[in-house]
Structure 1
């Protein structure tokens, strides 16, 4: 009797990890519950945290066109070896209203006078890489040339070249050089050689090694991290950037295409948003503009999802509105954008796209009207946009905002109203504590299957509080998001899109935490949250099938969450399982409706014993996926899921 009791105890509990008695889950592999849209998991991009300028947009010179409110911000006058001269900031006014300022530099010495640029918290330079310098120049005095030097943080020259302007009219001059050292905090010197004067504008420095080697392009390591996620869509350009603090600083897509020298720069709306992170030097140059956004989406196989302003500035700031009778230009911008993306080269905006180097249409299928708007004023404006867009482009799906919160009076009003209007896609946002995500994995279980589809447009677990500068991208938050995402996938007939937000953050230039990918001037890393997003995207399958415990969905019982799908393309069954507890879960999956599976299954495990574990620049692999294999006994899968673990099992059909 004693021996029997000990055996029973051992079957129920085991050390370490205090394994519980085995639970048997059922997977009904032949019963399709819902189709998973190719767009299910995607990317939300916004120029916050130096995500564009100083981030993925690879320009190294800050304030290259002298259009900041303080025209020489980022620049310093240089007087080497006692050289003398002067710098004047001139405004050309109507001659170029999009880029009116330039500098007039006069040298009174043979050499050594000029200016230097600090970059974005320094310039990240790599030894052996080539760098492309360019400048718009207009010669005032014959015989003046430019000496270009890349300086490391010790003041030593680590690369140089020269430019010899020869025209008294504005002309672009280019040169390149190789860096002799690596430094994350380099700076650029532009020195005049010879006595005389010259006008300068658009002083620029790019690495040659950009994404797809495009001149003046994007930072390759950051875009590669996006490509590695294989996202279903790319939402751009935001976010609150779309709205602007006031309408004058809203995002206007037509000003972001064409020659970068003529893209009208504006202050970034995150410039003064947070008292704890003032960023007076944060502007939008729009070097990363709408053509580039469409190209990135095309490059990484993501459906483009542009968001356009609906005639409302940010309601957290000025609440500025365009009168209804003046909304026409805003609506026309939306119609023209669809033509820019999809129109033939015979159309006005299709011809413009072709002239910019992309004659092939971008196949735009959806668009957001407004970002995080609410209230009767939003509904009134949305109706006008919807009628105009669907009259001309009935197949374009429109995304409607349900406001900044996942519940409450504002949410309820918008949700009820848009459902009555038979809206296409509803955009829900949730920045909440990890516990909220664990408790809401069943959020969509009872949503109307015949109503609008859901876009989980912005979400991230907040370790401290919403928008707190102390929030961390720790494993507890990432694991809670994984648990929540099993509910998104299980309800894929309702939820068609989901994206974490924000995407990028510079370790020295951020305003908001947490964020998916962090970087400095040379390196980058994915957070645990990044790997959760990536694993869901890489393992979504094509169709959801039931995964049950006691004939119920697995949505938090005993701290466990799960979903299953089949992939009709690869002929696999994919099981995702989250153990949010401190106890190892001994489990088995009894698979029904399948002929059987190959003996070895592929397993991906993302876990940490420490809920506060984080990745960092110095330890980027603290929490990363680990690949392994496990044996399968016909249609029975037995495994142990360790504490605080997200596990994916892929079984190949016989």
Structure 2
């Protein structure tokens, strides 16, 4: 800006004219222009906006944050499926009998024929459903297959007995329904299913009908070749008489299964030397859960045992001198049976630590054996072994191995390296919830007391899930880490149980349930202010009765919570449908005046995701005020979702944070999901962790750094800004007015040269610059954990107008100080 001291009006006018002409030419020469007025405060910025969402999906908790180093602690998993010649098993207990193959109910279990790759051809078989009968059938043109519900590319052709339908869907590591048709059949009888693929055309036949029930041509990037497979989704089903044809030639298929040893699937059987022994699973007298592992040593010389290599057999990381603690429950009718627990390398040739104890008498009841280890070497892929080396029978259940000292976070059963990384992200709010809470057996009272007696349960994401880390551990972790905790509960919990939960967590140690908390080791009440009732309720369809049911459950549980602690803020989890205004208004009226926030889940994969988020938040705000001008109901974003964790996702997160700043205190927080992810252990489509980890390493992905930058540069007030060009911008300042911060996101593939005009703020050089940029597809890896990371620099600019070139695909923060 130009200042005039000359009183000559003619000179002033000439100078102004020249200034205007010069400024216009300058703007025309720029790609963008930002104007900021630091004196015009528009709204407050949510002080808890730097959030993260964690749940036990993709092993964020059990196998991750929870310090239990063993996976399959309760031996609940059945023995591995039969090894079927020519077929690859991707989850599920596939068994061969009488020429047929059967599988238990589960979330997307697959059996893939390894050969041939088929371009055009057909597959047909007879199917018979059991008690669980949601959906099952074929998958064809399969590629890139992995364990996980939708982790493959291909077409799904399935029978859905419950809704009397045939389903054609397309998977590209996700699911898209292509066509569903009604069909009449006896769901308890053998059904014949056939599919033909001819180029992009797919024909589906049921029960030997000559006319196809589905005739569909995929005109959107059709999948034209691949393997064939069998798949179930929440159905126990048998397949027999599978006939595969290619080029009109029949490819012979015969199910030949080799029975695997009866070792719980997360463990491996060990036999050394000449030992004569066998393994068994006992489901009649387990210590915890439904079954225990049995070792029967009959003779010979050597060791008989079971080994656990952690989550997905990725290994247990040990350091030389590192101390571990653990216990295992044992039972034997044989006195003086030597039992060894050990840390070994992957093939058992090296032992890093061991404890040997002998049953001095018969252990007719389950007995807890505690131990400690000091590793004598470093190995990132070690294993834990329980073994016997003399004749006898040993039953094993509930095995635990944890770290100690600095490797646990503040004395909690939590991996310190992961917990500390979350702190380094700059988080101040963490939500524990997601689809895991919708599992019928997700009950809070199963998550308290001694961990070894907490029953394992059938989770949504994993059929055999640990309660070792539960709501109490989550709240304790957040309190210790300095995060504001919020958690979701199953909306079908009883009011009495919810009342007890609130008293247990927040009540005085003199109350009934507060005494139980104190007895469990935590006399002081936890700091807790937010509870969510349910998760994504009625996401399955726009059903008025289901929304009514949720509203009724909300009010019952709200009353139970507030009867114990009226300071708890309660969050509504009804799935927001902006095109279903009648149902949305019905829920609003049911929870208005009680719910403090409505949970909106957003998408953040696209770099400019914030534009849609801003629009949706404004729409909710307008509707709330339309339905009740005096409402105090606000919104919280408890899940920013997607399937990416790269630089593009970081930009989507950054633009989302800009949207939240614009909406001000109408929004409580924005929790990017997923907070954590185990490398290489993704078994569904939610490939979106901010913090990645292995047994020995923890690092941030690009979205991690976006959060870290924003949190580090938080200011409580948003001020006026205007933008000419494609940049996404918010401007904030401190209460005192001595700091001004610009959050600028450039989603373009080219740098944007920008003129920045700052009014009513005189900055001192230098301007601090934080930049996160890179190829949109770039990710951080164990080998290059900081490939995409924040870079700090300074900008020398003393004038109120300065130029800056914002890099391509970047999130930049400019921090000005007086």
Q: Is the shorter-chain TM-score for this pair beyond 0.5, marking a shared fold?
A: yes
The range that moved more, 626-635 or 559-568, is 626-635
How big is each residue's C-alpha offset from its partner over 1:322-364, in whole Å with a ceiling of 9 and x where there is no partner? Answer: xxxxxxx622222222212210000122112212222121121
Where do 1:174-573 residues align within 5 Å?
174-208=370-404, 212=408, 217-236=413-432, 238-244=433-439, 247=440, 249=441, 251-271=442-462, 283-311=464-492, 330-374=494-538, 375-403=547-575, 407-409=578-580, 413-414=583-584, 417-418=587-588, 421-422=592-593, 423-431=595-603, 434=606, 437-440=609-612, 442-443=614-615, 444-445=617-618, 447-448=621-622, 451-460=632-641, 462=642, 471-510=643-682, 511=684, 512-541=686-715, 543-549=716-722, 554=723, 558-568=725-735, 572-573=739-740
Give the secondary-structure state (helix, strand or coil) at the position aligned to 2:400.
Answer: strand
The range that moved more, 333-342 or 181-190, is 181-190
Q: Within 2, Cα distance between the matches of 1:600 and 1:503?
A: 34
Q: 1:114 to 1:153 in 2, by over 3 A?
A: closer
Higher strand share: 2
Is structure 2 residue 57 aligned with structure 1 residue 48? yes
Residue 599 of structure 1: which of 751, 754, 765 is its match?
A: 765
Q: Within 1, Cα distance between the matches of 2:749 and 2:306?
A: 59
Contact 1:399 1:426 in 2 (8 A): yes
State the Cα distance separating 1:569 from its structure 2 match.
8.5
State the Cα distance separating 1:91 from its structure 2 match.
4.3
State the Cα distance separating 1:437 from its structure 2 match.
1.1
Give the secondary-structure state (helix, strand or coil) at the position aligned to 1:190.
Answer: strand
Contact 1:104 1:197 in 2 (8 A): yes
Normalised by the length of structure 2, the TM-score is 0.66
Q: 1:415 to 1:640 in 2, by over 3 A?
A: farther
Contact 2:45 2:718 in 1 (8 A): no
Q: Within 2, Cα distance between the matches of 1:269 and 1:293?
A: 19
Q: 1:191 to 1:388 in 2, by over 3 A?
A: closer
Match of 1:144 in 2: 337
Supply the RMSD in Å over aligned alpha carbons: 3.0
Q: Within 2, Cα distance between the matches of 1:585 and 1:633?
A: 21
Where do 1:144-183 residues align within 5 Å?
144-164=337-357, 165-166=359-360, 168=363, 169-183=365-379
Is structure 2 residue 55 aligned with structure 1 residue 38? no
Q: Within 2, Cα distance between the matches of 1:419 and 1:36?
A: 28
Q: Within 1, Cα distance between the matches of 2:509 and 2:579?
A: 47
Q: Within 2, Cα distance between the matches of 1:216 and 1:134?
A: 17
Give the secondary-structure state (helix, strand or coil) at the position aligned to 2:689.
Answer: coil
State the Cα distance separating 1:9 from its structure 2 match.
12
Is structure 2 residue 101 aligned with structure 1 residue 101? no
Q: Within 2, Cα distance between the matches of 1:651 and 1:152?
A: 54
Contact 2:340 2:356 in 1 (8 A): yes
Contact 1:406 1:429 in 2 (8 A): no
Return the index of the structure with the highest Cα Rg.
2
Q: Within 1, Cα distance between the matches of 2:663 and 2:24?
A: 38
Q: Within 2, Cα distance between the matches of 1:180 and 1:10?
A: 72
Q: 1:415 to 1:52 in 2, by over 3 A?
A: farther
Q: Within 2, Cα distance between the matches of 1:442 and 1:64?
A: 45
Q: Within 1, Cα distance between the matches of 2:488 and 2:476?
A: 16
State the Cα distance separating 1:568 from its structure 2 match.
4.0
Match of 2:808 in 1: 643
Contact 1:145 1:162 in 2 (8 A): no
State the Cα distance separating 1:180 from its structure 2 match.
4.3
Q: Within 2, Cα distance between the matches of 1:570 and 1:254?
A: 49
State the Cα distance separating 1:148 from its structure 2 match.
2.7
Is structure 2 residue 801 aligned with structure 1 residue 629? no
How big is each residue's C-alpha offset from its partner over 1:67-86, in whole Å with a ceiling of 9 and x where there is no partner? Answer: 23447222233221111234
How many residues align? The count is 587
Normalised by the length of structure 1, the TM-score is 0.82
Contact 2:548 2:587 in 1 (8 A): no
Q: Within 2, Cα distance between the matches of 1:196 and 1:597?
A: 80
Give the secondary-structure state (helix, strand or coil) at the position aligned to 2:779.
Answer: coil
State the Cα distance separating 1:505 from its structure 2 match.
2.2
Q: Within 2, Cα distance between the matches of 1:299 and 1:83?
A: 49
Contact 2:661 2:718 in 1 (8 A): no
Gap runs ≥5 in structure 2: 1-21, 80-262, 539-546, 626-630
Contact 1:78 1:116 in 2 (8 A): yes
Contact 1:231 1:537 in 2 (8 A): yes
